A and B are shown apart, each in its own frame.
Chain A
Amino acid sequence: MSAARGTLTHPARTGLLLVAPAVAFVVVFVMVPLVSAVGISLTNLPLIGSWRFIGLENYASVLTDPTFWRAVGYTLLYTAIVTGPILLLGYALAVVVRANRRGATVLRTIFFVPYVIGLTTLSFLMLLEAQPDSGMVNVVLRGLGITDGSTAWLVDGPLASGLLCAMVIWAVSGLTMVLLMSGMQGIPREVYESAELDGATWWVRERTITVPLLRRTIAMTVVLSVIGSLLAFTQFYILTQGGPGSDTTTVVMAIYRRAFVQLQLGAATAMSLVLVVITGLVTAAQFWLLRERS
């Protein structure tokens, strides 16, 4: 007998009913937009004016566009630079605040506040603080005798990238800290106590207990961090607008330019779908690398 003719109590039908809301949500808010995007990417749809189907022309154009691939390369480099420090700093902060000792709550709040403030606000603040001579970044560096305080951070590609990476690592580590801390607090105290009885040092306990038991949480934070970095836009848009030249142009910024400066929605959508594929491949690779091994 097929599931369609079963009763409400039939396990298959019950299961379908239970997942139906989630399936409907995914269909309406993920599948339909995705399919629509594929349709739009096969046209030359501009933001103004008429459109026509052009087949795979947009994809051919994107795949041979050096600007797009330069943006992809820069985004991957940026992702590679910030992911490790975000994880390590987040882990270190989680270690500091995981115990419910005096002052831990205050420290958690302090470490998490940059993430709450958000990259948009922080970027506008940094725009002021990175100004030559007058910005706090330069004032501090001059005070420490490291520079003469006239560094124009945002008009030099490597300097701007360094500043952006430092700001993002500082801002986002708080989220990693919270995720890892909750995972650490879920590890039974008895495991550590028995290790201590066996004479395990702090380092050994971290390496042989905490990290293995946090493996899934670490994998999740890394995946989230990498996806966030691949889709980076706000901080670059505010601080450098992709410049100088195209030195700090990320993929999403290139897509934004194509859609809302060149007004070419069809081509921008094709670029977006290529980015979806790239993000999917990177995420799949991460899942494979971070998979549970028996």
Chain B
Amino acid sequence: MELTRRQLLALLGAGGATAALGGCATPTTAVDVGAPGFGEGARGTVEMWCRSDTVNGVQTVVDAFHAAQDRVRVRLTPIQNGQYVTKVATAIRGGRVPDVIDIDDIYSTMFAFRDVFTDLTPLVEDLALGDALSPGHLALATKDGRHYGVPFLGDFSVLFCNTELFDRAGLDVDEHTASFDGILEAARAISALDGDTYGWSYPGNSSGALGFTVQPHVWATGTDLIAGDVGDQRGNVAGNDALRRTLDLERTLWQEQLVPPGCFADDASRWSADYVAGRLGMFPAGYGIVAPNASPELLERSRVVLLPGPDGGRAFFDGGDNLCMPQGGKNPEAAAELIRFAVALEQQTRMPDGFYSPVRSDVVTPEFEAEHPLVVPTLRSLDAGYAPTTLAYNLIYNQQDGPWLRMFRRAVFDGEVDTAMDEAQTTYDRILRQAQA
């Protein structure tokens, strides 16, 4: 049989496409973690991935797990933070997945909504913690009422206050951090103390860090920058009064030189430097940013409050990690045992040792509060924690060429607040449309 050139090309095309797409099989094996006897006496090795930022905290839990039993060993693989989503997605597409992944909760959503994680609802229900288990974490891994991840560690954005500077300026932490007017008044008073002291700070060239610390001001009013449910979301930027007032506040802080000049170019590589040096009155950041770098004396005179809205209300970014089980893992029973162990009270109580927050509020006892006072405010107000449930968080908020950073810089440093918000509205809508296509 002879083939014409056209037939040969058609055959090549069909074969190539079939080969290319055929290799893109997604594992669909469903595991019922609620089945009677599931996970009892599990044995073998658990392959676990974690992001490099959280490897110390995860390793502590893994070491404790090994010390507690000798049936299951955990092989922990840290993955560079910026590559984590891609690596996990590629592993799922390739059908060679780890048993457990410790994933930034903000990225749980895109996997949960694509049905590639095991339903862990029975594990969550067994904990019987209700709202004492970080609702923000859980919401990000929940689809149609089913939980595809279990909250593991907290990385919450809060406002650190240097009480020594507050006292010197004659300010009250609670009163002057309750609204934007109070913040401005405090920032002006603290900046006036001496030429090297500033009231506030932000890493003006770090999209992710700004998303972490600035958005809660908007959320404190009960609104978000993204509106609607996943699948039908659009931007809520243009005309968003809370956002406008937030950008105005950051703009005023910059104009009046109440933030260090380095904020203009800071990509978060020097994020905590001014605060740990004692030169900042108020510092929006996470416990893991401040605690490892600050002296015990500074931590002693620091107070933590939640981030305020323009006229009151408080909120924080409910960040951190969820533990999830990609479908197709080789040892799901041992993986489930590890997850149960990781969220148990004993392990959660030790989270601040790795500079993270627990995700369950029942860890708070008088002893815990005395030892970790800076971690407690968020645990006492877990319901004020929030993070947007969307498939496009990464592109909008964590990429340097995303619309969030562009809007912030244009509004704050160039003073074009309305134009920046209008432009961002268009880009938010386009990105959300593409992500939900």
B111 and A244 contact, CB distance less than 8 A: no
**Chain A residues, CB < 8 A from B405:** 243-245
Contact of B399 among A37, A48, A257 (CB under 8 A): A257
Q: Which residues of A contact B16 (CB under 8 A)?
A: 32-33, 35-36, 38-39
Interface majority SS (helix, strand, loop, mixed), chain B:
helix
What is the CA–CA distance of A187 and B405 in the complex, to the nearest angstrom? 55
Return the CB mask of B386-423 against A: 1 if under 8 Å, else 0.
00000010110001110001100110000000000000
Contact A261 B400 (CB under 8 A): no
Task: Verify if A217 is at the interface (C-beta below 8 Å from B).
Answer: no
Inter-chain CA distance A61–B431, complex, in Å, is: 12
A48 near B93: Cβ-Cβ < 8 Å: yes
> Which residues, 256 to 271 on A, are CB-close (under 8 Å) to B?
257, 260-264, 267
Given contacts A49-B26, A132-B262, contact A242 B92 (CB under 8 A): no
Contacts of A241 in B (CB 8 A): 399-401
| Contact residues, B249-272 vs A (CB, 8 A) | 261-262, 264-265
Min CB gap A50→B, angstroms: 7
B-facing residues in A13-43 (Cβ within 8 Å): 27, 31-33, 35-40, 42-43
Complex alpha-carbon distance, A152 and B261, angstroms? 11
A132 and B265 form a contact (CB under 8 A): yes
Give the complex CA separation of A205 and B102 in angstroms. 68
Contact, CB under 8 Å: B89 / A47: yes
In the complex, which of the residues B13, B392, B395, B435 has the most CB atoms of chain A within 10 Å of its own CB atom? Answer: B13
Contact in complex: A31, B12 (CB < 8 Å): yes
Tell yes or no: B192 within 8 A of A by CB: no
- Residue of chain A at shortest CB distance from B437: A44
Check B13–A49 contact: CB distance below 8 A: no
Q: How many residues of B contact A (CB 8 A)?
A: 44
Residue of B nearest to A253 (CB): B401
A225 to B89, CA, bound (A): 34
User: Within the assembled complex, what's the spacing in Å between the Cα atoms of A116 and B97?
Assistant: 37
A39 touches B17 (CB 8 A): yes
Interface size on A, residues (CB 8 A): 46
Which of A32, A33, A155, A267 is the most central at the interface, judged by chain B CB atoms within 10 Å of its CB? A155
Cα distance A50–B327 in the bound complex, in angstroms: 14
On whether A263 and B89 interact (CB within 8 A), knowing A48-B26, A244-B409, the answer reads yes
In the bound complex, how far is the Cα of B12 from the Cα of A36, in angstroms?
A: 9
- Provide the residues of chain B in CB contact with A94, threshold 8 Å: none
Residues of A contacting B394 with CB < 8 Å?
261
Check if B370 is an interface residue, CB within 8 A of chain A: no
Say whether B21 contacts A49, CB under 8 Å.
no
For the complex of A and B, list the 3 residue pairs with the smallest distance between their C-beta atoms, beginning with the closest: A39-B17, A242-B401, A152-B265
A50-B26, A244-B409 known, 15 other contacts, Cβ within 8 Å: A35-B16, A36-B16, A38-B17, A40-B17, A40-B21, A49-B26, A49-B114, A49-B115, A132-B262, A152-B265, A155-B204, A155-B205, A241-B400, A242-B400, A263-B85
Residues of A in contact with B (beta carbons under 8 Å apart): 27, 31-33, 35-40, 42-51, 61, 67, 131-132, 150, 152, 154-155, 240-249, 253, 257, 260-264, 267
Q: Which residues of B does A touch, CB under 8 Å?
A: 9, 12-13, 15-21, 24, 26, 85-86, 89-90, 92-93, 110-111, 114-116, 204-205, 207, 261-262, 264-265, 392, 394-395, 399-401, 405-406, 409-410, 430, 434-435, 437
Pairs across A and B, CB under 8 Å, 27 listed: A32-B19, A35-B12, A36-B19, A38-B13, A38-B16, A39-B21, A40-B21, A42-B17, A47-B86, A48-B92, A48-B93, A48-B114, A49-B114, A61-B437, A132-B262, A154-B205, A154-B265, A243-B401, A243-B406, A244-B400, A247-B401, A249-B401, A253-B401, A260-B86, A263-B89, A264-B434, A267-B434
